[in-house]
Structure formats: C-alpha cells, structure tokens
Amino acid sequence: ETGVTQTPRHLVMGMTNKKSLKCEQHLGHNAMYWYKQSAKKPLELMFVYNFKEQTENNSVPSRFSPECPNSSHLFLHLHTLQPEDSALYLCASSQASGGYNEQFFGPGTRLTVL
C-alpha cells in the first residue's frame, strides 16, 4: 500500500456515458497527478495539481475534466469518451510538484470504453 487509493478499480462505459474516477491520498501531500497508460505506450502525464491549483494540462482533450477540491482528493470526470481512451489511469501524489519530490502511485483504474 502506497497511501494512494483509486476507485473504481475497473470501469466499463459507453461512449455517451458520464463517469468519474476518484483518487485519494493519505500521505499529507500537496501535489496530485493523473497519468494515462495505453497498451504498448509509455505512461503519459495528463494533469498536475499543486495546492489545489492546476499547474499542468498536457494537451488533454476536453472530454477529460479534472477536479481537485482539496489536496487529498483528485477526480477525473469523463464524458463522451472514445474507444481509444480505453487505458489504465493512474493517480499519483507527492509532497509538492518540484523535481526532487518522489511521486507515489495508486493502483490505477482500468477503463474500457465500448
């Protein structure tokens, strides 16, 4: 256990559905991240939040909408997704968003878009 939890662990949704992924960290960290891992591709950073403020959006389509209500919780709201969005979505947290701060990863949510 890394102190970072993600729910749900598996999600199947249709292209017209709206769903949300949740991440919670119990480490007292101030930075949280969303990553996407598609088959046979390296992990890609999607969003970074530092002290609840979004500091990075890595050209992610607007059908992915992040929300960070406090430093312990991070959501990824999904709507009108495409089948190519099927992937493992990983959340991470760190003390702050600087380069010296180790990131701790959650177990991921396996998303399948039909």
Partner 1 sequence: KQEVTQIPAALSVPEGENLVLNCSFTDSAIYNLQWFRQDPGKGLTSLLLIQSSQREQTSGRLNASLDKSSGRSTLYIAASQPGDSATYLCAVYNQGGKLIFGQGTELSVKP
CB of 16 to partner 1, least distance (A): 26
In the numeric block, which tokens belong to residue 21?
A: 């992924």
Smallest gap from residue 65 Cβ to partner 1 (A) = 21
Binding partner 1 (rule: CB under 8 A), the pick from 31, 76, 87, 113 is 31
The dihedral through the CA atoms of 114, 15, 110, 39 has a sign that is positive
Q: In this structure, are residues 2 and 104 in contact, taking their beta carbons and an 8 Å threshold?
A: yes
Does the bond joining 8 to the residue before it have cis omega, within 30 degrees of 0?
Answer: yes
What tokens appear for 42 in the block?
């390296």
Stretch that binds partner 1, among 18-26, 60-68, 69-77, 85-93 (CB under 8 A): 85-93
Q: How far is the CB of 81 from partner 1 (least distance, A)?
A: 20
DSSP character for 94?
A: E
How many chain residues bind partner 1 (CB under 8 A)? 29
User: Which chain residues interact with partner 1 by CB under 8 A?
Assistant: 2, 6, 31, 33, 40-43, 45, 48, 56, 88, 90, 92, 94, 96-108, 110
